[in-house]
Amino acid sequence: NAGVMQNPRHLVRRRGQEARLRCSPMKGHSHVYWYRQLPEEGLKFMVYLQKENIIDESGMPKERFSAEFPKEGPSILRIQQVVRGDSAAYFCASSPASGDREQYFGPGTRLTVT
Amino acid sequence: RKEVEQDPGPFNVPEGATVAFNCTYSNSASQSFFWYRQDCRKEPKLLMSVYSSGNEDGRFTAQLNRASQYISLLIRDSKLSDSATYLCVVNLPSNDYKLSFGAGTTVTVRA
């Protein structure tokens, strides 16, 4: 059973470009969570999605950031017009639809904005 | 005040030693507590849940003190492979999916 998959693992963007980060949850999981880890800081919750629904986006910056989890395909975290402060590791986690709420984390995408 | 605070360390200990560290949390309504392990900024992995009565998993012992709002982790007979950053994690019953992470305590076990 493959774990949570994220790609790309490393992404370099120049200021003003767009970044798209992908997350495929574990097989059988329909809940997806995105977290951001800035250097020397703990992971910060960004958004919680279920298929085709955003459940809680209270941790998302109000501008430039969006997330989706379509019926088919991976969850996407999109950052428009990136700035240097967006440089961070972005982790995706998934959990099953019911029962065990333990979150299984993917390997992360390291975004570097130059 | 941060939701979860940890001593960043590093704790440098010889193989076979015992090392212990705490974390404090700010919200007294927190209900679930965990220790995660993170290696070299890779993905966090659940080490153990922390129960009110305290719990042990092999060489690892976790304790919860609700009155003082802190959680502790003790590692006995340290191995080189225990070198990692240990993340204290809590969540609230109202948003049990929203994990709050501490910045981590770094432990380095030397030969």
Asked if pLDDT for residue A56 goes beyond 80, the answer is yes
**If you average pLDDT over residues A73-80, what whole number do you get?**
97
Exposed, middle or buried by CB within 10 Å (0-12, 13-18, 19+), for B80? exposed
CA distance B45 to chain A (A): 7
Residue scoring higher pLDDT (A88 or B96): A88
CA gap A37, A45 in Å, rounded: 9
pLDDT of residue A43: 94
Residue B40: closest CA among chain A residues belongs to which residue? A107
Residue scoring higher pLDDT (A98 or B41): B41
Q: Is the dihedral of CA B66, A31, B102, B105 positive or negative?
A: positive
Asked if pLDDT for residue A1 goes beyond 60, the answer is no
Query: Could you report the per-residue pLDDT of B42-65, keeping only the tens digit for each?
Result: 999 999 999 888 899 999 999 999
Both structure tokens of A65: 């950031």
Helix (H) or strand (E) holding B100: strand B95-101
Amino acid at A1: N
Interchain CB contact of A66 with B (< 8 Å) = no
Work out whether strand A109-113 and strand A10-13 pair parallel, antiparallel, or are unpaired: parallel
pLDDT of residue B106: 96
Q: Which residue has the tokens 């929203």?
A: B98
Strand-pair partners of B48: B35
Interchain CB contact of B4 with A (< 8 Å) = yes
Work out whether strand B55-57 and strand B60-65 pair parallel, antiparallel, or are unpaired: antiparallel
Task: Please answer yes or no on whether A102 and B46 come within 8 Å at the CB atom.
Answer: yes
Confidence of residue A28 (pLDDT cuts 50, 70, 90): confident
Which chain A residues are within 8 Å of B100, Cβ to Cβ? Answer: 42, 45
CA gap B94, B20 in Å, rounded: 30
Asked if pLDDT for residue A99 goes beyond 80, the answer is no
Interchain CB contact of B47 with A (< 8 Å) = no
pLDDT of residue A96: 85
3-state secondary structure of A71: coil
Please list the rounded mean pLDDT of every run of 10 residues in chain B (111 residues).
89 97 93 93 92 92 94 97 96 83 96 94
